Amino acid sequence: MTRWVQDRANELLRDNNAGVKRMSYITALKAATTHQEDFILPYVNDLRNVVDMDAIRAAGLKLGVDPLGGAALPYWEADQFDLQTEHHSRESEARSDVLVHDGGPRRENPHGLLQPICDGRPCASQG
């Protein structure tokens, strides 16, 4: 599934997003095609099928966690395994920049969107 999403996203990017239909956030929320789905809890619950969480907990390990600028926090908050964790967070200005398909650096803004970076700071919007 992820390969299909990756390939489709790259196809759209190569075509300068010509095939992407756009609408406002409010309109999208009200659309009949918009549904809320919890991907976090099923994922976290299924981890016990691929990782021996009991062995990790019994070993008394303390796990250092970088929650990816906050994006992974909901997964750790849904921890069903009683693991000892220490979350390391960074302020938004200190977050790592991300290189995207076009090679340009981006930084996550407070709304979770990737913004272009110019000289180490978010670029001024181009009207």
- Asked, for residue 87, whether it belongs to a domain, the answer is yes
Is residue 109 one of the residues assigned to a domain? no
For residue 35, is it within any domain? Answer: yes
**pTM for this prediction:** 0.45
124 within a domain of the structure (yes/no):
no
User: 21-59: per-residue pLDDT in tens?
Assistant: 889 889 998 999 998 888 888 888 888 899 888 888 888
Domain assignment present for 117: no
CA atoms within 13 A on the CB side of 24: 3
Structure confidence at residue 99 (pLDDT): 53
Residue 108, pLDDT > 70, answer: no
Could you tell me the pLDDT band of residue 14, with boundaries at 50, 70 and 90?
A: very high
Q: What is the pLDDT of residue 91?
A: 47
Domain range for 21: 2-94
Paired sense of beta strands 114-118 and 105-108, if any:
antiparallel
Percent of the chain's residues with pLDDT above 90: 19
Tally of domains in the chain: 1
